[in-house]
Amino acid sequence: MKIGDKIRIIGLPNGLQDGEMKTKSLFESCVARIFPIVGIKPVPEIGSELLELQVGEVLGHPPYMHVIWIEREFVKVIEGSK
């Protein structure tokens, strides 16, 4: 996976909660939707990378207004989007 690839969110990380930021609800609203990868951040502590997705459109805002970071295991690359 690389920046610019389009991915579909296919699952949710464990432990998400709906506090003040409504994180769990936002992630749930993103499942099955397609987003381009806008950033990739290595996280050696978990032995993986986090993918940055701009998801503002899910909440009716411009995409850049809301961002989530998600592990690769919860997304699938959309073939032909590279």
Q: Where do the domains of the chain lie?
A: 6-77
Write down the pLDDT at residue 23.
87
Mean pLDDT, residues 56-66 taken together: 95
Q: Give CA separation, 64 vs 12, 23, 25, in Å.
A: 21, 16, 18
- Dihedral pair phi/psi, residue 21, rounded to 5°: -85, -5
Which position has the higher pLDDT, 33 or 17?
A: 33
Residue 54 CB: number of other CB atoms within 10 A?
A: 19
> pLDDT band at residue 82, thresholds of 50, 70 and 90?
low
Residues 6+ apart with CB under 8 A from 65: 54, 56, 59
DSSP label at 51? E
